[in-house]
Amino acid sequence: MQYGMRFLSESDIERIEAQSLLILSEIGIRVHNDRLRDQLRKAGIPVEDQMVRLPPQVVRWALDTAPREITLYGRNGDVMPLQPGHCYLVMGTGATSILDCGANHLRAITQEDVVNFARLSQTMDEISLGGGGGQAQDVAPGLEILRTVESLVLNNSKHHLAGPHDLASARTWYELVEIAGGDRDLRETPTLSFVVSTTSPLQLDYDSSQVLEYAAQRRLPFLASSCPMAGGTSPLALIGTVVLMVTEDLFLLTLAQLLNECSPVIWGGAAGIIDVRTGSLSYGAAERHLLLGANIEMAEHYALPHYVPSGSADSWCTGVQTGAEKMQCWMARRASDTIFGIGLGSLYNGLATSLEQVVIDVDLWQQANRVFRGLDTAELDEACDAIRRVGPGGNFLDDEQTLRLMRSSEIYFSDLANREGERGAGMLARAHDKVERILAAHQYVPPDAVVQEVSHYVQARSEELADG
């Protein structure tokens, strides 16, 4: 049984679309890439100075051209169609700090941490895309992406989601994942996808434009990710931030189709809220779920596959605030029936992460999923028979229906929640034990030929990057 909630009416959707098309045609997007602007001008797109304006008919053409069916793949054989009714959980990818279990401060992520995150996500079936939690900070300057991706492809064979900040990083990701895939053709069975973001309001920076071009040329799936901050880089009126998100996502989608028709684009966005009392960004605010839920509904209006940031929390540490913000987030994601949820383990607005928080997030997602799965009314008649069998004053512990259902999915039994009172360990301690067990018992071992080729590539690429 599916439950859901709606944030926008059909009239709201039509008004948002109309305003977004007006903004794109009358104001446009400032594109900080001279060569790309010239290319668009030659294609007949209105360009004045740095502003690129998209006529409504061009946007509608792009929407008609963009694929509605996108499938992601893992090197391990996973096949993931991005369709309603599926939800793929993804580890957070942008952190630079990590919280160790029991620590009272953050520390920089190391290459060893990346390996541990990659191994954890490789082992946990609930995590669909492999990730390293963040970027290694203990390597030579300029080699952070290279060494991070090296650790990932050698310790995880699931689909990889990357957020390259420039063309060099995009190339590193693509070439290393291609090497790790052996004979696999990334154009036919993409085991890698990118995130491409605008700079709100209404800008596309030089590096992001190059990453988008790189993905479109190879028909590599990418996540269109407008990231406005309500009250800072977008209107504090939340509906205005939704309009800006839609405008920027439409631009990214249209640009991809202009560069290479039928480029696969996954609609999304990572809007946040500015706390007007302090000026700080808040990803844990309740209002964020209104923004992201509305953006999902716009994706559904266009019948496009979509993603949404998940597991958001403002707090830098595990605790009461994090638990409340996380569960609020997972319930909202389940209510919106998201296809692609990113952010397992995320803390501190995505700047930090935690191995323990990853397994806690999975548990919270499972609990939210159980709520929205609803009641199994097929058991009604037999349950009434059980009431008659047991009668007044009896118990149902050894009733035949109880015995049949106790190992079914009727009840979700968390292995992290403490339901033993004072005798039981807390959730964080249980999560730490689970992480330790997984890392001790499981390790992905790539083929020797892949290890050797990755090593040669990293050596050559290191020298190339060092030479500038």
d(C-alpha 394, C-alpha 180), whole Å: 61
Give the model's pLDDT for residue 248: 98
Give the model's pLDDT for residue 2: 45
- Domains of the chain are 63-372 (3.20.20.480)
Give the number of other CB atoms < 10 A from CB of residue 313.
28
Instruction: Using DSSP bridges, classify how beta strands 340-344 and 308-309 pair: parallel, antiparallel or unpaired.
Output: parallel
- Distance from first CA to last CA of the chain, Å, rounded? 56
Give the model's pLDDT for residue 4: 57
Q: Structure tokens of 406?
A: 């106790």
133, amino acid identity: G
* Polymer length of the chain: 468
Give the model's pLDDT for residue 109: 96
402: left (phi over 0), alpha (psi -120 to 50) or beta: alpha
d(C-alpha 50, C-alpha 63), whole Å: 24
Q: Structure tokens of 226?
A: 């407008």
- Condensed to tens digits (0 to 9), the pLDDT of residues 338-349 reads 888 888 999 999
349: left (phi over 0), alpha (psi -120 to 50) or beta: left
**Alpha helices, DSSP H only, in 102-237?**
111-123, 144-153, 167-180, 206-217
Sequence-distant (6+) residues with CB within 8 A of 413 are none
Segments of the chain with pLDDT less than 50: 1-3
d(C-alpha 203, C-alpha 445), whole Å: 43
d(C-alpha 314, C-alpha 312), whole Å: 7
Q: How far is CA 161 from CA 54, 68, 341, in A?
A: 29, 20, 12
Q: How far is CA 333 from CA 116, 291, 295, 391, in A?
A: 27, 12, 12, 41
Model pTM? Answer: 0.94
What is the CB-side half-sphere exposure of residue 256 using CA atoms within 13 A? 34
Q: How far is CA 420 from CA 130, 146, 174, 363, 415, in A?
A: 34, 46, 48, 18, 12
Residues in a beta bridge with 195: 223
d(C-alpha 307, C-alpha 264), whole Å: 13
Give the model's pLDDT for residue 1: 37
Buried b (16+ CB within 10 A) or exposed e, 92-125: bbbbbbbbebeeeebeebebebbbbbbbbbbbbe
Angle, helices 286-301 vs 10-26, to 10°: value is: 80
What is the CB-side half-sphere exposure of residue 34 using CA atoms within 13 A? 0
Give the model's pLDDT for residue 184: 84
* Residue 398 DSSP code: T
* Residue 339 DSSP code: S
Q: SS3 sequence, 301-363?
A: HCCCCECEECCCCCCCCCCHHHHHHHHHHHHHHHHHCCCEEEEECEEHHHCEECHHHHHHHHH
d(C-alpha 326, C-alpha 443), whole Å: 29
* Residue 300 DSSP code: H
